[in-house]
Amino acid sequence: MAAKAIMTVSEYLRTSWPDGDREYVHGEIIEKPMPPFSHGEIQILLGALFLRLSSQSGAPRFIPVSEVRHRLAPDVFRLPDLAVFLDDRPKAEVPDTPPFIAIEILSPDDRMTVLLEKLREYRDWGVAHVWVVDPEGRRMYEFNSDGLRETGALVLPEYQITIPPAELFPQP
C-alpha cells in the first residue's frame, strides 16, 4: 500500500501517525499493512527468544527492537518488524548502521514485490541475516544473494543457534 506523498526527510522525521508509523523511500511515504494478532505474537516471541539467548553462557548480547525506523540511505527509512543488534545499542535513535538480523513477519496484505525490494535493501545495506516469517503458512524463509528460500529453521551458524518452527508457531 503506497500513498504517493512527496515529503522531505526532515518532515518525515518530525511526523508521527496516529495509526502506526510509515516507511519513507525517496520522498514517498509507504504505509505498512495493519498486522493481525499472529504477527504481533511472533514479533514478541522472537524478541523474547533473543533476550533469552543473550543470557546463555558464551552467547553474544542480542538487542532486539521492533518497528524502529532505520536509515538505510539518506532518503530511505525502513521499519523491520524486528531488528536484532549485536553487543551494543546503535549510537543513533534512528539507527544508520545495519542490525545483525532483520526480520519481516508477513501479514495478509503484504505484497511480494514490496517485500522483495525491502529484503534486497537490507542485504545491500549489510544486514548479515535477513529472515521472513509467515504466521499463516507456518513457514520460515531466509533471503541471501541467491534470493528468498524456504528453510526448515532460522539459523545463526556463527553462534550455533537454530530456531525451529516449534519455537514460533503455537500448536494448532
Nine-digit cell string for 66: 521492533
Residue ranges making up the domain that contains 81: 35-167
Q: Does some domain include residue 144? A: yes
Backbone φ and ψ of 82, nearest 5° = -145, 130
pLDDT of res. 93: 93
As a whole number, mean pLDDT of residues 5-17 equals 86
Q: Does some domain include residue 5? A: no
The answer to whether 100 and 87 have CB atoms below 8 angstroms apart is no
- Number of domains the chain contains: 1
pLDDT of res. 95: 96
Q: Does some domain include residue 63? A: yes
Q: Distance between CA atoms of 99 and 65, rounded to whole angstroms?
A: 10
Q: Does some domain include residue 45? A: yes
Helix%, strand%, coil% for the chain, nearest 5: 25, 30, 45
Q: What is the pTM of this model?
A: 0.92
Q: Does some domain include residue 119? A: yes
Q: Does some domain include residue 18? A: no
Q: Distance between CA atoms of 63 and 101, rounded to whole angstroms?
A: 10
Q: Does some domain include residue 57? A: yes
Q: Does some domain include residue 29? A: no
The answer to whether 131 and 141 have CB atoms below 8 angstroms apart is yes
As a whole number, mean pLDDT of residues 54-74 equals 91
Cross-sheet strand order for the sheet of 70-73: 2-3, 28-31, 22-25, 76-78, 70-73
CATH code for the domain of 157: 3.90.1570.10
Q: Distance between CA atoms of 37 and 172, rounded to whole angstroms?
A: 15
- 134: pLDDT confidence band, cut at 50, 70 and 90? very high
pLDDT at 1 over 60: no
